[in-house]
Structure 1
């Protein structure tokens, strides 16, 4: 039996009125903002701050995002964005996000980030210390 994934971060948030569309549902693009906010919380958890991660000689840029909407979220809903490590490549990583309300997943997101040099913003493999931090978060592989 496989163990449930352990999130790197669980970020609570409350939906604000201006994040909703005319139908009273969170406008689709705002889910990506929630994902982005949660990724900064990952950096805070792993390195202390975004600035501390930059000081290690690494930054990430979004290369691809995919979202699956399972249930609508509305104004004043209390949500939790859970962040999970999915894959670590040579110059990229894939992170999964689950946005839930009352324990039920409303939205799933998968984002591929590319590591870049903070000074040039050119793709670059992360320093070994950064790679080790992310590698330690990879899910266990079934035999």
Structure 2
């Protein structure tokens, strides 16, 4: 997966485990930070989404671990929306070590758009869909939900 880099970080000591590598669960946190950065990159921060009356909830995360990062390693994180349906969108995620481009983790996350007040699923707004299509090298697939 060659995805646009939207977030970078340096591994903090507290993110490592007794083996001296990033604890596997932290990659889900990294993925979430990457999604937030992706929203900003396409022009929709979480605050903008909330102000427009909607929100997103994670309904699925899939992560494959390919390598190991340690304390003070600089990481780069890529993200793109692969598929966007009526109310859900699935994004591809990748984490690499900046120094040698080693693939560390890759996976996907599915979000469902919900009404900001009721929490009920709602259609992903057209302007958000258009912003994603303009940002990415290829637009997301658009199968029905």
Shorter-chain TM-score range: 0.7 to 0.9
Secondary structure at 1:53 match in 2:
helix
Q: Is residue 2:70 matched to residue 1:103? A: no
SS of 1:47's partner is: coil
Q: Offset of 1:135 from its aligned partner?
A: 4.0
Query: Hey, what's the Cα distance between the residues in 2 that align with 1:95 and 1:125?
Result: 17
Between stretches 49-58 and 129-138, larger displacement belongs to 129-138
* Equivalent residue pairs, number: 137
Equivalent runs, 1:106-125 vs 2, <5 Å: 106-125=104-123
Give the direction of change, closer, same or farther, for the CA distance of 1:76–1:111 in structure 2 (3 Å limit): same
Whether the aligned pair in 2 keeps the contact of 1:85 and 1:138 (CA below 8 Å) is no
Give the secondary-structure state (helix, strand or coil) at the position aligned to 1:23: coil
Call closer, same or farther: CA 1:123–1:96 in 2, change over 3 Å.
same
In the alignment, is the contact (CA less than 8 A) between 1:58 and 1:127 conserved in 2? no
What is the TM-score of this pair, normalised by structure 2?
0.84
Per the normalisation by structure 1, the TM-score is 0.85
SS of alignment partner, residue 47 of structure 2: helix
Aligned positions of 1:1-143 closer than 5 A = 5=2, 7=4, 9-101=5-97, 102-136=100-134, 137=136, 139=138
Asked if 2 retains the 8 angstrom alpha-carbon contact of 1:88 and 1:135, the reply is no
Unaligned runs of 5+ in 2: 141-145
CA change 1:37–1:140 in 2 (3 A) is: closer
SS in 1 for 2:71: coil
- Uncovered stretches (5+) of structure 1, i.e. residues with no partner: none
Q: Note the alpha carbon deviations across 1:69-113, whole angstroms, 9 max, x for none.
A: 011111111000111221111110110111001322111020011
| Aligned-partner Cα distance in 1 for 2:54–2:128 | 8
Name segments (4+ residues, structure 1) moved above 6 Å: none
Q: Distance in 2 between matches of 1:53 and 1:92?
A: 15
